[in-house]
Amino acid sequence: MESETTGLSSDIETYFRIYFNHLGTFAWDKAKEFSEKEKQDFLPNPFQIALTSLAHQEKLYYSLAFLEQKSWFGRRDSHRTAYLSLEASLRNIQQKESRDSDQQHEQDSASTTMYAICVQLADFCSIRLSCIALYGQILKTLPSGSLDDICSEINKIIEVSMKLSSELIKPLQESLHDELNAVLSLLQSSQAISSWEYVNAVHNIQDVASTIAKWKPILAKNQGSSLTFRSGFFGFGEKSSSNPTSALCNWMEKFFNFLISKFTFYFYENLSNTTSSEEMKSALSKLSFDFVSKSLNLVKKYDAKNISLVMDTRDLFIGPTHGFTFTDPTDNPSLINPVQDFTALLSLPQSSSGDTFLFKSVLWTRMDELQPDKLLCNLSEDKKSTFFLTQIENKIYLVVTFNGQRSEKDAHLLSYFNEALQNLKLKRIASLLKPGSK
């Protein structure tokens, strides 16, 4: 009898290892087929139905189908409802197994294993419901750029997910943790770039790169994608797979590409100081959107004098510095005049100190008028320069300087600003989160 029990325990563990290996490596169809065809006497029928349903729901989850716009007569939150129903079913199975074991006064190892898995999967469904709510929140909040609450929510979900401790469901747990940590790193990297924090931005970007590098080959194998894959900091230049089941990974990769492009623009002077001009040129050519070349093209073709990124450092303890330097956090020199409250993060091409002083003065004078998506035009007192200014972050501004007088209706200028703003702001990434977006 003991040998039979041991054999049964081994069978159930093997069954779960195969199923969760499929599920944790995005082979949802294989997991569904396995649970449907490999019927086991030691598993009650409701539990096998639950496993089949879970594989199907996971496939839908990774397709981001739950973010699609519903018609007025369509069922809303059908995916959320499916996970709620699945969780309730697993809780019922769990309670029945608990009652049965109480009546029998003992529980064999196979029943113990199934009970533990049932508990873990019910918890997993609850976590998935939190994830579905999270992406809905990201879709609504991302355009505003206020990410602190979302990051806090992700950390809470990660903490709850630590309850999924069974060795048998480890592949599923790992894919969940990879997903949550990657999304958290994407958001934190975006925050770091917007705050001009070089080290934090690089650290989080590398974390995301590791997850994408891990996921892409697995998806290529299990979802039939034939895409090649280049690893490295500037290595994500391929088009994303059109397979809808990998929509979540596609969105992560697009977000990653967006951050790399933005990072390269914001920290161009830092990167130029640490790489050769040929390496920098090669890196720019791989970007999904090359802000630097677009800016230099405006300067060259349309007689722009200077394009600058300027940061308002009035409320910061320390101002930003170029290169791999670390300033003393206790060092907070008093500022001599208001113009020193602004720091030029980037200047294309290198501007004279006179130009820098002028557009900083304009920023200070018209600060109350600057708003996101609003373009301001300012003619210098001597009418020798025209400044165009817009806000692209909470404390970062894009300034274009022309020689002489220029109209704010200039088609080339408006095209540059519209394209830059569209590709620098997070609302673009939020729109890509919707299924079918390109």
Q: Is it the case that residue 105 has pLDDT exceeding 70? A: no
Q: In this structure, are residues 25 and 171 in contact, taking their beta carbons and an 8 Å threshold?
A: yes
pLDDT computed for residue 84 by the predictor: 96
Q: Above 60 in pLDDT, residue 88?
A: yes
The answer on pLDDT for 22 being more than 70 is yes
Average pLDDT over residues 324-336: 45
pLDDT digits (tens, 9 = 90+) for 264-279: 999 999 898 888 889 9
Check residue 372 and give its pLDDT: 78
What mean pLDDT comes out for the span 380-387? 84
Contact 408, 375 (CB under 8 A): yes
What's the confidence (pLDDT) of residue 365?
A: 84
Question: What pLDDT was estimated at residue 104?
Answer: 57
* Partners of 402 in the β-ladder: 304, 386
Q: In which order are the strands placed within the sheet that holds 385-391?
A: 342-348, 304-312, 396-403, 385-391, 376-379
Taking Cα atoms as reference points, which of 223, 248, 209, 109 lies closest to residue 168?
109
Residue 106, pLDDT above cutoff 80: no
What is the set of domains in the chain, with CATH numbers?
2-261 (no CATH), 289-428 (3.30.450.240)
What number of CA atoms fall less than 13 Å from residue 252's CA on the CB side? 27
Instruction: Write out 334-347 in H/E/C secondary structure.
Output: CCCCHHHHEEEEEE
Which position has the higher pLDDT, 418 or 382?
418
**388 CA to centre of own chain:** 31
User: What's the rounded mean pLDDT across residues 116-132?
Assistant: 96
**φ, ψ (nearest 5 deg) of residue 328:** -75, 120
- Between CA 269 and CA 257 the distance in angstroms is 19
**Is the pLDDT assigned to residue 213 strictly greater than 90?**
yes
Highest mean pLDDT among 335-339, 348-352, 392-396: 392-396
Q: Which residues have a Cβ under 8 Å from the Cβ of 285 and sit 6 or more positions away? A: none
φ/ψ of 238, rounded to 5, equals -75, 160
Q: Which residue has the tokens 């195969």?
A: 18
Higher pLDDT, 312 or 350: 312
Using pLDDT thresholds of 50, 70 and 90, give the confidence band for residue 329.
very low
Query: What is the rounded average pLDDT of the residues 380-386?
Result: 83
Mean pLDDT of 9-15: 85
Question: What is the C-alpha separation between 377 and 269, in angstroms, rounded?
Answer: 26
Peptide bond into 349 cis (omega under 30): yes
Is pLDDT above 90 for 306?
A: no
Q: What is the pLDDT of residue 331?
A: 47
In angstroms, the CA 206 to CA 200 distance is: 10
For residue 166, how many C-alpha atoms fall within 13 Å in the half-sphere facing its CB?
A: 20
In this predicted structure, the answer to whether residue 361 has a pLDDT above a threshold of 80 is yes
What's the pLDDT tens digit per position in 386-402?
999 999 988 899 999 98
Q: What's the CA gap between 72 and 294, in Å, rounded?
A: 43
